Amino acid sequence: MDERTGRAWSGRFDASPDEALDAINRSIGFDIRLWPQDIAGSRAHAAMLQQIGMLTIAERDAILGGLNQVESELAAGSFTVLPTDEDIHMAVERRLTELVGDPGRKLHTGRSRNDQVATDVRLFVREACADVRGRLALLVSRLAELALEHADAPMPAYTHLQRGMPTTLGHHLLAWAEMFLRDIERFGETGRRAGISPLGSGACVGSSLPLDREMTANLLGFHSITRNSLDGVADRDAVVEFLANASLLMVHLSRIGEEFVLWSTQEFNFVRLSDSVTTGSSMMPNKKNPDGAELLRGKAGRVVGSLTGLLVTLKGLPLAYNKDMQEDKEPLFDTVDTVTVCLNMLQVMLAGATFNRERMAAACSQYVNATDLCEALVRVGIPLREAHHRTGRLVSLAISRGCEIEALPLADVQAIAPEADPTMLEGLRLAAILDVKQVLGGTAPQRVRAEAEALSARLTRALEWATVA
């Protein structure tokens, strides 16, 4: 440590950093969050340095003891950050050296902050992937339960937000589960790629010392090591992947949030959200606002923004490390936090939501059975296009009469579709048209139940996907 500048690197410098540089450059304000990863990385590095003879056993033990103390202080919030601590890496080393003296000054042997931070970030991403997957799995399980419960509760399926054909609430909830299963896969893939150790890449070209990279990788739970030291310190793919996966997850949540917002309007009135996930107005005593659902929808913005921002920052950077890359951490941390609060929010919303099944069933009106009539005509041999056209004309007629198709006089129906018969019209009842959608993935209640029951096994497979034995 240089007594003039307080910086570990200042041998060739004549002046301390300007406060404007500190303001733009110091990262300890946010990278302190990486302390668990940083301590873990240092433990592994110290153990390895002893193994290859760069530390004595006593030095290693002094370091490990000191790191325990530093960890305690960080965990307890009693760690004092000094104005000269640029980042968590230098802060830990500085404090360690205060505690244990010379062995602390040997810890950085064969290591650079470049590979150290790359290692810390990968450990963080790997853990974040696992955590997000766990939360998603809870949601998938919850949706499976709800889908079973509402497997036969009719509601309209919408396209273009117009009522299309009937489905069931259970079927709709399973659509959400599908999105989450894909998200689980993606975070698994990213977690796997994050699980490759860059430690030992040094500043950019490795080291002249006989570092044992596989040992540190094993100690840190990495499943393999990076094969090029320049890439090892220049690569931020895992962070970009995490943000891309999170952006897509947040788009999914935004769609679900939008549906909760719609469903809880006075106009739809499909769901009543619990008071505990809604708020009131400071001015309007009548209001009960679905804030939680709105923020599920709106918080997609910040995550997409973080992804965009990191791509902008990385674009056009030559190899290997550039200071710009320090900008990877804040979007990563903010995204982990955002995803976490959103997944929790959805879990709580689901727990307290009361679905208005009567209202949903009643909304299965206004010709949502027209396609079924069309297909009935097809089954008796009318070409689809002709059947479609005739049914369209029947819909027009029914609109002009202000009634549903099945309420039209048979003669009027047959004037347009001579093949129609009473059985055909009888088959347009809601329960009947749901039951016949037996195609795989369709809305027949027994099919919905089967898929809900199959979710558990599919979830298990998704959680196993891309993990490394």
Residues with catalytic annotation?
160, 281
CA-based end-to-end distance of the chain: 43
Pick from 63, 367, 420, 459: which binds its own copies (CB under 8 A)?
A: 367
* DSSP per-residue letters across 232-296: HHH--HHHHHHHHHHHHHHHHHHHHHHHHHHHTSTTT--EE--GGG-B--SS-TT--B-HHHHHH
| Residue of 332, 271, 283 lying closest to 118 (CA atoms) | 332
Residue placing its CB nearer to its own copies in the complex, 124 or 367? 367
Q: Using the minimum distance from each CB to its own copies, give the nearer residue, 276 or 456.
A: 276
Amino acid (1-letter code) at residue 445: P
How many residues bind its own copies, per CB under 8 A?
206
Closest approach, Cβ 194 to its own copies, in A, equals 11
Say whether residue 378 binds its own copies (CB under 8 A).
yes
Q: Which is nearer to its own copies, 219 or 244 (CB)?
A: 244
For its own copies, the closer of residues 72 and 183 by Cβ is 183
Three-state SS sequence of 171-236: HHHHHHHHHHHHHHHHHHHHHHHHCEECCCCCCCCCCCCCCCHHHHHHHCCCCEECCCHHHHHHCC
How far is 91 from 271, CA to CA, in rounded Å?
Answer: 52
Q: How far is the CB of 267 from its own copies (least distance, A)?
A: 4
CB of 216 to its own copies, least distance (A): 11
Closest contact distance (angstroms) between CB of 223 and its own copies is 14
Q: How far is the CB of 411 from its own copies (least distance, A)?
A: 20
The 10 Å Cβ neighbour count of residue 372 is 22
By C-beta, is 124 or 176 nearer to its own copies?
176
Of the candidates 158, 316, 139, 133, the one whose C-alpha atom is nearest the C-alpha of residue 242 is 133
Handedness of CA 275, 277, 283, 287 (dihedral sign): negative
Is residue 418 a contact point for its own copies (CB under 8 A)?
no
Interaction of residue 84 with its own copies, rule CB under 8 A: no
Cβ of residue 23: shortest distance to its own copies, in angstroms? 5
Binding mask 263-302 for its own copies (x = CB under 8 A): -xxxxx-----xxxxxxxxxxxxxxxxxxx-xxxxxxxxx
The answer to whether 104 touches 45, Cβ cutoff 8 Å, is no
| Binders in 15-34 for its own copies, by CB under 8 A | 15-18, 20-21, 23-25
Distances (CA, A) of 55 to 45, 58, 107, 207: 11, 8, 9, 16
| 72/267 with CB nearer its own copies | 267
Least CB distance from residue 331 to its own copies, whole Å? 7
Which residues are 159's β-sheet partners?
A: 162
Q: Which residues pair with 271 in a beta bridge?
A: 355
Examine residue 352 and tell whether it contacts its own copies (CB under 8 A): yes
| Residue linked to tokens 């509402």 | 150
Judged by CB under 8 A, which stretch of 35-43, 72-80, 128-136, 393-401 contacts its own copies?
A: 393-401
Burial annotation 45-64 (CB, 10 A radius, 16+ → b, else e): bbbbbbeeebbeeebbebbb
- Choosing from 330, 412, 419, 421, the residue that interacts with its own copies (CB under 8 A) is 330
**Near its own copies in 200-229, by CB under 8 A:** 200-211, 213-214, 225-229
Cis peptide before 153 (omega within 30 of 0): no
Kindly tell me which of 72 and 317 has the beta carbon lying closer to its own copies: 317
Give the other-Cβ count within 10 Å of 448's Cβ. 28
Whole-angstrom Cα distance, residue 225 to residue 213?
Answer: 7
If one asks whether residue 363 binds its own copies (CB under 8 A), the answer comes out as yes
Q: Judged by CB under 8 A, does residue 40 bind its own copies?
A: no
- DSSP run (H or E) holding 47: helix 35-51
> What gap in Å lies between CA 145 and CA 66, rounded to an integer?
50
Q: Could you say whether residue 50 binds its own copies (CB under 8 A)? A: no
Q: Does 309 bind its own copies (CB under 8 A)?
A: yes
Window 420-449: contact mask with its own copies (x via CB under 8 A) = -------------x--xxxxxxxx------
Residues 142-171 that bind its own copies (CB under 8 A): 157-167, 171
For 115, the token pair is 């590979």
Q: Tell whether residue 235 is a contact of its own copies (CB under 8 A).
A: yes
User: Does the footprint of its own copies cover residue 63 (CB under 8 A)?
Assistant: no
191 binds its own copies (CB under 8 A): no
Residue choice 66, 154, 331, 445 for contact with its own copies (CB under 8 A): 331
